């Protein structure tokens, strides 16, 4: 059995039996049969059906948001993830005709040469718990539009999300078997990948999980998309709009209790603004309300699991023991119970010798360091095994452009953070993973090129 232990009160909120081996094999077989027909459905019809399915998924957003609160702790006041789900799915639907259109090399009386995009066939999406709908839709919607069948494995912490997605796609009229939810443990997931019965896998999760999937796929020649860990930095320059930087970076660090793939986990501030930035940041965080996520007044819910909160507490304790200064008194947040409910924390006097500035925290904590200029900031931002996003705060776009060229990361923001633009390629480097979702390049990941070289006259 797979069980959802609710961070709200520690009880078993939901449970599902693992999908038996025979049913897994039947699911793969039926998905392949459905995909063979689906790929021949005109693109316009595929787009319309996927759009309809997304509409079905987002129709009951209030109930889904409450369900998410019980499963992973996000406050209901934020309404789930469905605004972003719609935005991303609509954009990918809009660009599909262009992204999937043939690349014409020559169309003459002598030759017709062109490259088409062919669906891989059967796509496995291994979804995360922190944004189970929002992250999954990045692959699910374009994979189906491109003519693939999709199997989704929801994270154990958010088991019920896969069912909601499957029900929405069935209600919208997608062919039977084309989109299915599977309940698998890690060993079974790896076994299916290793068997060669899947044509593409997209995984969002830990570095260890990504390594395990790569090992399972070894020798199958299967393409893989991986979004793994992150330790995303922000750099506040001396000409930044201080209030805007504080508000955005604190939101980027503490929204969803810091459990965001591209959340801000470390901040570097020019020495001329440093003291004022820290003062304003501390004041900002003291306004958060930690509590039951079902309460509409709550702005900071529990972490998704007690063990996640324990890791963050350990990083905080170690940093303080090594000389870091904690600016938030946990007693200001009486809901902190030593378990999943964890008070937010801002640390200064931190160094890159501390785990809190090197390892992924994925919780309501951020470290802030003083820097003397761009060179030091660039060096520190690149001093990480991860590379997902980096956030630059300045009024000088040329300066930001020059710094961006030096950063080892997948996305560079100027004067914003913790945002995923569906028109931009979502990708990472170093231990953050490889591959691409969203944008036209997302369609390239979910399809393969086929070249056509026709000589018209013999």
What SS3 state is found at 269? Answer: strand
CA distances from 232 to 141, 208, 261, 349, 400 (A): 27, 19, 9, 19, 16
Q: CB neighbours of 310 closer than 8 A, spacing ≥ 6?
A: none
Burial 52-63 (b: 16+ CB within 10 A, else e): bbbebbbeebee
Contact at 8 Å (CB) between 442 and 426? yes
> Rounded distance, CA 65 to CA 143, Å?
25
> Rounded distance, CA 391 to CA 414, Å?
6
> Rounded distance, CA 152 to CA 288, Å?
35
Among 67, 81, 227, 265, which one carries the catalytic annotation?
Answer: 227
> Rounded distance, CA 124 to CA 418, Å?
26
Measure the CA dihedral 397/398/400/402, to 10°.
160
> Rounded distance, CA 364 to CA 312, Å?
8
- With tokens 């069935």, the residue in question is 170
What SS3 state is found at 297? Answer: coil
Angle, helix 186-194 to helix 207-217, in steps of 10 degrees: 30
**What are residue 124's DSSP bridge partners?**
151, 201
Query: Does the annotation mark 425 as catalytic?
Result: no
Burial 349-371 (b: 16+ CB within 10 A, else e): bbeeebebbbbbbbbbbbbbbbb
Q: CB neighbours of 359 closer than 8 A, spacing ≥ 6?
A: 231, 315
Among 261, 262, 417, 425, which one carries the catalytic annotation?
Answer: 261
What SS3 state is found at 103? Answer: strand
Q: Active-site residue numbers?
A: 227, 261
């Amino acid at each position: 059995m797979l069980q959802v232990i609710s961070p709200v009160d520690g009880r078993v909120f939901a449970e599902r039996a693992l999908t038996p081996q025979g049913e897994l094999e039947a699911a793969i077989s039926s998905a392949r049969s459905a995909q063979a027909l689906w790929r021949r459905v005109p693109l316009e019809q595929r787009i319309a059906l996927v759009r309809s399915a997304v509409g079905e998924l987002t129709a009951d957003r209030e109930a889904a948001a409450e369900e998410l609160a019980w499963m992973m702790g996000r406050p209901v006041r934020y309404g789930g993830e469905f605004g972003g789900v719609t935005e991303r799915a609509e954009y990918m639907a809009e660009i599909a005709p262009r992204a999937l259109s043939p690349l014409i090399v020559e169309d003459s009386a002598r030759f017709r040469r062109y490259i088409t995009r062919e669906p891989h066939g059967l796509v496995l999406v291994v979804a995360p718990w922190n944004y189970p709908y929002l992250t999954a839709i990045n692959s699910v919607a374009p994979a189906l539009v491109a003519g693939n069948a999709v199997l989704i494995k929801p994270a154990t912490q958010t088991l019920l999300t896969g069912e909601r997605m499957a029900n929405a796609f069935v209600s919208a009229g997608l062919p039977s078997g084309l989109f299915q939810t599977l309940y698998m443990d890690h060993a079974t997931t790896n076994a299916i990948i290793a068997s060669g019965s899947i044509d593409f896998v997209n995984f969002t999760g830990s570095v260890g999980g990504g390594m395990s999937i790569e090992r399972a796929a070894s020798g199958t020649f299967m393409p893989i998309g991986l979004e793994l860990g992150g330790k995303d930095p922000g750099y506040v320059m001396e000409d930044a709009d201080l209030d805007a930087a504080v508000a955005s970076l604190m939101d980027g660090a503490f929204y969803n209790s810091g459990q965001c793939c591209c959340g801000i986990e470390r901040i570097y501030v020019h020495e001329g603004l440093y003291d004022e930035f820290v003062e304003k940041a501390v004041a900002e965080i003291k306004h958060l309300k930690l509590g039951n996520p079902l309460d509409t007044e709550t702005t900071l819910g529990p972490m998704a699991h007690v063990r996640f909160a324990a890791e963050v507490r350990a990083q905080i304790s170690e940093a303080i023991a090594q000389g870091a200064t904690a600016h938030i008194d946990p007693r200001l947040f009486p809901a902190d119970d030593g378990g999943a409910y964890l008070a937010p924390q801002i640390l200064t006097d931190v160094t890159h010798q501390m785990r809190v500035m090197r390892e992924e925290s994925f919780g309501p904590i951020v470290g802030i360091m003083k820097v003397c200029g761009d060179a030091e900031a660039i060096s520190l931002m690149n001093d990480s095994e991860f590379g997902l996003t980096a956030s630059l705060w300045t009024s000088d776009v040329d300066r930001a452009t020059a710094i961006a060229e030096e950063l080892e990361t997948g996305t560079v923001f100027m004067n914003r953070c913790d945002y995923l633009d569906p028109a931009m390629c979502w990708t990472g480097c170093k231990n953050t993973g490889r591959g691409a979702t969203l944008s036209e390049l997302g369609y390239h990941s979910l399809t393969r090129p086929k070249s056509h070289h026709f000589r018209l006259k013999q």
